[in-house]
Amino acid sequence: MRGSRQTCRSTGTDGTQSATLRDEVPWSDSITGYDRQHRTIYLRILDACADNASVEEMAELILGIDPALEPIRARKAVRSHIDRANWMVTTGCKQLFAG
């Protein structure tokens, strides 16, 4: 179910909420507009992983999903964003610096 259109609400640093954050990241072999728009989400996810944050913490604090109310959605959304954040670090960054 890649590219799910159901959206998450993420609170930005200014306290506003993003309605464009998807439950499942749209995948591509190249950097997408979604990746560029949500690079800070990826950084926050990677930072949270480095701090051993739980999936529930990441879902609630970064993606704006209540894991108590929607545990499956929360896990899937966090997993999707972790996977893409890791792709950005290992592959996507090469594209950023190449062009």
CA distances from 55 to 22, 33, 47, 95 (A): 16, 25, 13, 29
- From the list 70, 69, 78, the residue with the least C-alpha distance to 49 is 78
Tens-binned pLDDT, residue by residue, of the chain (99 aa) = 334 434 444 444 444 345 588 999 999 999 999 999 999 999 999 999 999 999 999 999 999 999 999 999 999 999 999 999 999 999 988 777 775
Residues in CB range of 69: below 8 A, 6 or more apart? none
Q: What is the pLDDT of residue 95?
A: 79
Q: What is the pLDDT of residue 20?
A: 82
Burial class (CB in 10 A: 0-12, 13-18, 19+), 70: middle
Q: What is the pLDDT of residue 99?
A: 59
Q: What is the pLDDT of residue 94?
A: 79
Q: How far is CA 13 from the centre of its chain?
A: 15
* Integer Cα distance of 19 and 12 in angstroms: 11
